[in-house]
Amino acid sequence: MKIIYNSLVLVLIFLTFSCSEQGKKERKEISNIKKVTVAFTGFGCEGRCPFQALSIDSSLTANYYGGKFAEKNGFYSGKVDQVEWSNIQTRFEKFTEIGLDTTEYQKTDHPSVEISINTDTKVYRFKENTGKIAETDLDVLYWFIRLTSNTNNLKKTDSLDFATSIQYEKL
């Protein structure tokens, strides 16, 4: 009887770990991010809010546009390293799984942000006033857009296209 009981316990432990690992594999396949684009409008605040757009994809290509009041003005293109790309996938995975956290009340003196996350199977799009986004999610978006200040290898280019509906300001 003791042998049967011990065998049953081992089988249950094995099943628990194998199901847990399978769930992790399926989740990673579903949320395999290929490209992230974030654009801030630059309008809607009483202060100096820059228009900025940053797009980074799985080939490690970064494209940036900075309009009026941005730290870098113009179009830039370059590469990010694999560590940054892994950080991006980790931080933006939450948006593909449960969406963007928003509050009930909107602060009107904040710019809008548009987010586009491309996976193998779906494109997730969010467009919201930053005054309505929960602070933890907003921290991710500002972290992402600030990657351009940490990336010195972005080189100025003539023009770029971004998959956003927010109209960017002409220089």
Tens-digit pLDDT profile for residues 11-70: 445 555 555 444 444 444 444 899 999 998 866 666 677 888 999 999 999 999 888 888
- The Cα–Cα gap between 130 and 66 comes to 18
Q: Are 99 and 143 contained in the same domain?
A: yes
**Does 76 have pLDDT greater than 60?**
yes
pTM of the model: 0.73
SS3 92: helix
Q: Are 129 and 72 contained in the same domain?
A: yes
Q: Are 12 and 77 contained in the same domain?
A: no
DSSP class per residue in 140-154: HHHHHHTHHHH-TT-
Token pair of 6 as six digits = 């011990």
Q: What range defines the domain where residue 99 resides?
A: 31-157
Q: pLDDT at position 147, please? A: 87
Q: Are 24 and 59 contained in the same domain?
A: no
Q: Are 148 and 113 contained in the same domain?
A: yes
Give Cα 165 distance to the centre of its chain: 17
DSSP letter (8 states) at residue 132:
G
Q: Are 105 and 144 contained in the same domain?
A: yes
**Does 74 have pLDDT greater than 80?**
yes
Token pair of 24 as six digits = 């992790």
Q: Are 4 and 40 contained in the same domain?
A: no
Give Cα 83 distance to the centre of its chain: 15
What are the tens digits of pLDDT across the range 143-165? 998 888 766 678 888 876 666 65
163 occurs within a structural domain: no
Q: How confident is the model at residue 95 (pLDDT cuts 50, 70, 90)?
A: very high
DSSP class per residue in 2-36: HHHHHHHHHHHHHHHHHHHHHHHHHHHHHT-EEEE
Q: pLDDT at position 59, please? A: 93
As for how many domains the chain has, the answer is 2
Q: Are 87 and 153 contained in the same domain?
A: yes
What CATH number is associated with residue 109?
3.30.1560
Q: How confident is the model at residue 171 (pLDDT cuts 50, 70, 90)?
A: very low
